[in-house]
């Protein structure tokens, strides 16, 4: 069976629905060349493509071959290995990485924040035990649904008129999805994942040319700063900065050594009473870290008296 890849139909404006079709990639890869791509992608991103991902590699990179007028993956590999092709290596990563997300994904995490973490912050602020500044990090933010979900939750519960200042750093390895996330524009089909009060309070409904889409309100967008960051290569933010780090459904793409390094770095970035959220399909089992489990896929520093 030949590999397939999605093709996007051109639209006259950003408001028109995006339609995807499957087409034959017409691209193949030998086992030896696939191993070379495996190693390159792992070195660049920490992601390990198993042997079952050969069709995915062919399908995703076929778009780059067409864009560059290159006939096969052997020539493309030679291109991306050239020292002067760092930008094309970024394009390769954009093509390979999978970005699946939705608003308020894994809702129990947001329930934990609303019912336990935020009341604790509020109580501690009242007692003078902490400031009214809250910093969160969405690591692996994809097209922005996760950080905007966090922003809506924080804006509702930690209001600026009560002295609170909440902000979110949102990072991803893909420049493509970061550009999409900055726009804050989504199809109306995604509205079903957003609680009604948040949908009415924080999303704008498109009309005319924008019909069928919704846009995150400016006040929510202003809470989120988007940056490109490679978790296995780039410098991390300052130590002890974040009250909350979401790194969900990212670790599953790394091998054990890469997962260990990423968890070590993320832990360093947590404030003393900070919380780390990972995906429900992920585990810190076997990783030596100073974290303890508070709830499924939620961790805090061991020994910290944070009231959870």
Three-class SS of residue 111?
helix
Question: Within 13 Å and on the Cβ side, how many CA atoms surround 266?
Answer: 35
- Please report the beta strands in the chain, taking only residues with DSSP state E, as ranges in sequence order: 4-8, 20-24, 133-139, 165-172, 185-187, 203-205, 213-216, 224-228, 242-247, 270-278, 291-295, 298-301
Q: Is 210 exposed, middle or buried (0-12, 13-18, 19+ CB in 10 A)?
A: middle
Neighbouring CB atoms inside 10 A of 220's CB total 23
Q: Output the CA–CA distances (angstroms, integers) from residue 299 to 43, 151, 254, 295, 296, in the order listed.
A: 28, 21, 19, 7, 8
Question: Within 13 Å and on the Cβ side, how many CA atoms surround 192?
Answer: 1
What does the DSSP 8-state code read for residue 142? Answer: T
Written as six digits, the tokens of 64 are: 């780059």
Active site residue 172: yes
For 213, phi and psi rounded to 5 degrees? Answer: -125, 165
> Which is catalytic among the residues 89, 172, 243, 248?
172
Nearest 10 degrees: Cα torsion 261, 263, 267, 270? 120
Neighbouring CB atoms inside 10 A of 273's CB total 19
Nearest Cα to Cα of residue 96 among 147, 62, 143: 62
Nearest Cα to Cα of residue 139 among 50, 218, 225: 225
Q: Indicate which residues carry an active-site annotation.
A: 60, 172
């Amino acid at each position: 069976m030949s590999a397939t890849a999605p093709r996007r139909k051109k639209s006259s404006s950003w408001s028109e629905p995006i339609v995807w079709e499957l087409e034959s990639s017409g691209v193949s890869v030998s086992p030896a060349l696939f191993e070379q791509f495996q190693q390159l992608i792992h070195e660049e991103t920490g992601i390990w493509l198993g042997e079952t991902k050969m069709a995915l590699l062919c399908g995703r990179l076929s778009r780059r071959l067409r864009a560059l007028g290159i006939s096969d993956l052997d020539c493309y590999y030679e291109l991306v290995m050239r020292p002067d092709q760092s930008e094309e290596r970024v394009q390769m990563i954009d093509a390979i990485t999978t970005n699946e997300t939705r608003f308020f994904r894994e809702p129990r995490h947001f329930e934990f924040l609303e019912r336990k973490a935020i009341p604790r912050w509020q109580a501690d602020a009242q007692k003078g035990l902490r400031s009214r500044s809250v910093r969160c990090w969405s690591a692996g933010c994809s097209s922005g649904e996760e950080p905007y979900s966090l922003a809506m939750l924080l804006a509702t519960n930690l209001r600026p008129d009560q002295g609170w200042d909440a902000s979110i750093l949102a990072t991803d390895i893909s420049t493509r999805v970061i550009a999409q996330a900055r726009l804050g524009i989504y199809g109306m089909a995604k509205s079903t994942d957003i609680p009604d009060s948040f949908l009415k309070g924080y999303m704008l409904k498109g009309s005319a040319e924008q019909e069928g889409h919704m846009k995150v309100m400016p006040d929510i967008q202003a809470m989120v700063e988007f940056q490109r960051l490679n978790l296995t290569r780039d410098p991390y933010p300052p130590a002890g900065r974040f009250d909350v780090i979401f790194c969900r459904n990212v670790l599953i793409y790394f091998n054990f050594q890469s997962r260990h390094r990423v968890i070590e770095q993320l832990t360093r970035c947590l404030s003393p009473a900070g919380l780390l959220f990972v995906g429900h399909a992920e585990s810190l089992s076997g990783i030596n870290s100073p974290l303890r489990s508070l709830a499924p896929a939620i961790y805090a520093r061991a020994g910290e008296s944070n009231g959870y």
